[in-house]
Structure 1
Amino acid sequence: MRVVIGGAHNGKRAYVKSYLEAQKLSDFKWYEGAIPPIGSSPVVVSGIEDWLRCAGLGEEEAIQVVMNSLENRSAIVILTDIGRGIVPIDKKERQLRDSCGRLYQKLVVEAEEVIQVWYGIPKKIKGRGNGR
């Protein structure tokens, strides 16, 4: 699994599209705000925080759904860092922020590579090579 993380509108999707084109990988199916069914086909998953907000699952169950979905397949997971800045006043938004943080930790631990994209500049923070 490859994780690409960064703030909102920082170029994560553009980086992933560029990476897929450079590697000539056209068979990846994109899931936006949804978790793919368990399987072996290659996927790009984005908007996990939106899915988590609407899933109606407890934190542990939601984490298990995500981890099971990504097991044994080529996956690129695009994560929006929502843990920085002002702590939300709304209790549900704070819980979402905390749940995302715990889920993101599990994804990063399992990932072979982690790329942080900051305003369009990719930086490899886990794995081998130079970010491409």
Structure 2
Amino acid sequence: MTLIIGGAHQGKLNYALAQTNLTKAQVTQGSTCSVSDVQNIVVLNGLHRVIKRLIQQGDDPHAYVERLLVNNPEVIIITDEIGCGVVPLERFERDWRETTGRICCSLAQNAQRVERVFCGIATVLKGESL
């Protein structure tokens, strides 16, 4: 599994596609995908959005990520860094950020590669670049 992190609109998806020769048709969008279907995901773009949707539905995002990795051990997971900046006033928003951060820490620990993309430029944090 590869984890790609970075701020919003920093070129994470374009970087992943350019490095792997995958197409946008192979990308599952976290904001619109079926959270019940974790089969055959090649690239998950927007893990933070899936986590938010799962929490809102009362589902366990940790269990979702476990199923995702079991079904797709070579998946590329792309997520925004959402834990920086002003702490939200709303409890839900704080809980979402904390849950996403904890899941990303676990993913990074177990990933073959972790890369951070800033302004379209990747920095390898763990492993070799794509």
TM-score range, shorter chain: 0.7 to 0.9
| Counterparts of residues 16-95 of structure 1 (less than 5 Å) | 16-21=16-21, 25=22, 29-33=26-30, 34=33, 35=35, 37-39=37-39, 41=40, 43-55=42-54, 56-58=57-59, 61-71=60-70, 73=72, 74-95=74-95
Q: Encode CA deviations 1:4-41: one digit per residue, 9 max, x unaligned.
A: 100000110110110122xxx56x831111347344x3
AA in 1 matched with 2:115:
I
Secondary structure (helix, strand or coil) at the match of 1:88 reads: coil
Q: Encode CA deviations 1:25-76: one digit per residue, 9 max, x unaligned.
A: 56x831111347344x351001122122222235xx2111112112253200
Shifted more, 87-96 versus 62-71: the winner is 62-71
Normalising by structure 2, we get a TM-score of 0.84
Name 2:115's counterpart in structure 1: 115
Secondary structure (helix, strand or coil) at the match of 1:77 reads: strand
- Structure 1 Cα separation of the partners of residues 41 and 95 of structure 2: 30
- Structure 2 Cα separation of the partners of residues 64 and 51 of structure 1: 12
- Structure 1 Cα separation of the partners of residues 107 and 81 of structure 2: 13
| Counterparts of residues 4-15 of structure 1 (less than 5 Å) | 4-15=4-15
Normalising by structure 1, we get a TM-score of 0.82
Gaps in structure 1 of 5+ consecutive residues: none
Asked if 2 retains the 8 angstrom alpha-carbon contact of 1:36 and 1:69, the reply is no
Gaps in structure 2 of 5+ consecutive residues: none
- Structure 1 Cα separation of the partners of residues 119 and 26 of structure 2: 25
Asked if 1 retains the 8 angstrom alpha-carbon contact of 2:48 and 2:100, the reply is yes
Name 1:3's counterpart in structure 2: 3
